[in-house]
Copies of this chain bind each other. A is one copy, B any other.
Amino acid sequence: MIVVSLMRLDDQESRLKEAYPDVSFHFYKHPSELPHDIQKEMDVLITYHAEVNQAFIENAPNLKWIAWYATGVNTLPFETLNERGITLTNAGGVHAQQLTEFLFAYILDDYKELKEAYSEQQDRIYNHKRVTPSVSGQRILFLGTGKIPQRAAQVAKVLGMETIGLNTTGHEADYFDQTDSLARRQEIYASADIIVNLLPETEETYHLLKREDFQAMNQHTLFINIGRGTITEEAVLVDSLKEHEIRKAYLDVFDKEPLEATSKLYDLDNVYITAHISGNRDDNKKQATDIFLNNLENFLNNGEVNENVVDVNKGY
């Protein structure tokens, strides 16, 4: 049994080796370092690299399982995986906590007017008259109702917010007061104070949000994107923000990443930008390895895995 990782896993490497001394583990810094003979023989692959494309898979005839160490799997060649019967698992849920923390950091930064207060501090102005709105009672609409939105909605509920979630079929989900289908979104937007995109990138969600979507939102809407930047074209977002069709946006992901310094988003005064950092966490590797080890135990016993299995037909 050969398990290959296309990145170094630091202290998780000895953890894996000690747990399964009979498995042959190979760790590389980057896909380019993988020797061809190992690629031909490997059974299991740990990766999150765009280099794992159709050609790469064709040169790995023995591959049975890809353990994706991130959440968004959209760069993978699903058709090939399907034909070959290769199992795909991801690290979905590992980022739920960190993304939830960023989401509420953004929301509370806005609602509690911290940037405005900080600007006063720098001018040594003591403005006791500042009255900020409460998030309690605010309606927060999530595009997506999977593990990450559920964790975020759980925190929103404790803070007294109303939670609405949109998904493909409108099915119910934990921690959502109300769910509906994405197809009906333009009828629902106006009731929301905060709209958060957490949809995975698929053919259906690519550039899903058009100018009409933003025009259907309430003008006081706070829009937050911590899912995938490809949910909307940059120009659509820039125009909607410039025309104040929505009040403000916090964006951690972008249609084209890395965001170029010439992006018009930087010219706006109602947008806050972070550099796709909301999933970064120092112990991500440990948490993804927790999932991997649980799956590996089953894989060695009966050739199957059961945690975080991705439906390669749906792409999430």
Q: How far is the CA of A69 from the CA of B281 in the complex (A)?
A: 44
Contact between chains at B280 and A101 (CB < 8 Å): no
Let me know if A277 is at the binding interface, CB within 8 A.
yes
Q: Chain B residues with Cβ under 8 A from A108's Cβ?
A: 101-102, 104-105, 108-109
User: Mask for A100-132, Cβ within 8 A of B = 1, else 0?
Assistant: 111011101101101101101100111110111
Q: Chain B residues with Cβ under 8 A from A155's Cβ?
A: 155, 158-159
Q: How many copies does the complex hold?
A: 2
- Closest chain-B Cβ to A248's Cβ sits at a distance in Å of 13
Contact between chains at A101 and B134 (CB < 8 Å): yes
The 10 A-B pairs of least Cβ separation, nearest first, read A105-B108, A105-B112, A124-B261, A131-B280, A126-B275, A121-B273, A128-B275, A130-B277, A126-B258, A158-B158
Q: Chain B residues with Cβ under 8 A from A120's Cβ?
A: 275
A residues bordering B, Cβ < 8 Å?
97-98, 100-102, 104-106, 108-109, 111-112, 114-115, 117-118, 120-121, 124-128, 130-136, 154-155, 158-160, 257-261, 266, 272-277, 280-283
- 5 additional A-B residue pairs with CB within 8 Å, beyond A104-B108, A114-B274: A98-B132, A101-B136, A104-B104, A126-B260, A128-B275
Q: How far is the CA of A159 from the CA of B128 in the complex (A)?
A: 30
Contact between chains at A109 and B114 (CB < 8 Å): yes
**Majority-rule SS of A interface residues:** loop
Q: How far is the CA of A117 from the CA of B105 in the complex (A)?
A: 12
Contact between chains at B97 and A160 (CB < 8 Å): yes
- Closest chain-B Cβ to A218's Cβ sits at a distance in Å of 18
Q: Chain B residues with Cβ under 8 A from A134's Cβ?
A: 97-98, 101, 281, 283
Contact between chains at A117 and B275 (CB < 8 Å): yes
Contact between chains at B133 and A282 (CB < 8 Å): yes
- Closest chain-B Cβ to A22's Cβ sits at a distance in Å of 33
Q: Chain B residues with Cβ under 8 A from A118's Cβ?
A: 115, 272
Contact between chains at B109 and A105 (CB < 8 Å): yes
Please judge, given known A-B contacts A112-B101, A158-B154, A259-B126, whether A121 and B277 are in contact too, CB under 8 Å: no
Please judge, given known A-B contacts A101-B111, A104-B108, A115-B118, whether A132 and B266 are in contact too, CB under 8 Å: no
- Residue of A105, A109, A133 most packed against chain B (CB within 10 A): A105
Contact between chains at B282 and A101 (CB < 8 Å): no
Q: How far is the CA of A127 from the CA of B277 in the complex (A)?
A: 8
Q: How far is the CA of A127 from the CA of B133 in the complex (A)?
A: 31
